[in-house]
Amino acid sequence: MIAILRPHSWDFPLFLHVFGAMVLFGAILATTTLSFVGWRVPALARSTFWALLAAAIPAWIAMRIGAQWAYSKEHHQLFEKDPTWIGVGFIVADLGALILLLATGFAVWWQRSQKAVAGRVVSGLAVLYLILLVVAWLAMSGKWGS
């Protein structure tokens, strides 16, 4: 019902948040795929790095700015105490920054050294972040704990 009651001044921050999150999901899906196939085809290490650097990180920035902007407009008017879905969103967003930076670092190492272990770490981090993103969108769209 929030969508029905929401004032139009909240629309752009929400759009930025949702659009960033959707592109971020797509970028992590591409990263996961590229990193797993890259175990057999080392040339894909470079594509994995670029998917993270040029797509996932900018999308994360858009998602996080949108989230903070929307939160600053909504939370005083809608909640006395942050519900579960807001907490899940913040945890996944902020933990996601760490995972993204680690994955990008390992992707650089993988691209330069061609060491298989670096590729496997990137795959593991990408799968972990993909799962966290799914949990976050389910929590936030289902308004868990409201």
Partner 1 sequence: MSTYDWLLMLHVTGAFLFLGGGAAAGILNLRAWHAERPSEVALLLQLIARVAVPAIGIGSVTSLVLGIWLVHHAGYSYGTFWVWAAIVLWVVAGALGARGGRHQTKAGVEAARLAGAGDTMTAELRALVRDPVGNALSYGSGLTLLLILILMIWKPGQ
Question: Which parts of 22-61 interact with partner 1 (CB under 8 A)?
Answer: 22-23, 25-27, 29-30, 33-34, 37, 41, 43-44, 47, 50-51, 55, 59
Helices (DSSP H) in 42-115: which residue ranges? 44-50, 57-78, 84-113
3-state class of 40 per DSSP?
A: coil
Task: State yes or no: residue 131 binds partner 1 (CB under 8 A).
Answer: no
Total binding residues for partner 1 by CB under 8 A?
Answer: 35
Contacts of 55 (CB under 8 A, 6+ apart): 23, 26, 27, 30
Task: State yes or no: residue 125 binds partner 1 (CB under 8 A).
Answer: no
3-state class of 83 per DSSP?
A: coil
Which CB atom, from 44 or from 121, has the smaller least distance to partner 1?
Answer: 44
Which CB atom, from 51 or from 100, has the smaller least distance to partner 1?
Answer: 51
CA trace torsion 130, 136, 142, 145 (10° rounding): 140
Which CB atom, from 116 or from 138, has the smaller least distance to partner 1?
Answer: 138
- Helices 11-37/116-141 angle, 10° precision: 150
Cβ–Cβ < 8 Å for 146, 81: no
Which CB atom, from 15 or from 79, has the smaller least distance to partner 1?
Answer: 15
Task: State yes or no: residue 87 binds partner 1 (CB under 8 A).
Answer: no
Q: Which residues bind partner 1 (CB under 8 A)?
A: 1, 3-4, 8, 11, 14-15, 18-19, 21-23, 25-27, 29-30, 33-34, 37, 41, 43-44, 47, 50-51, 55, 59, 137-138, 141-144, 146
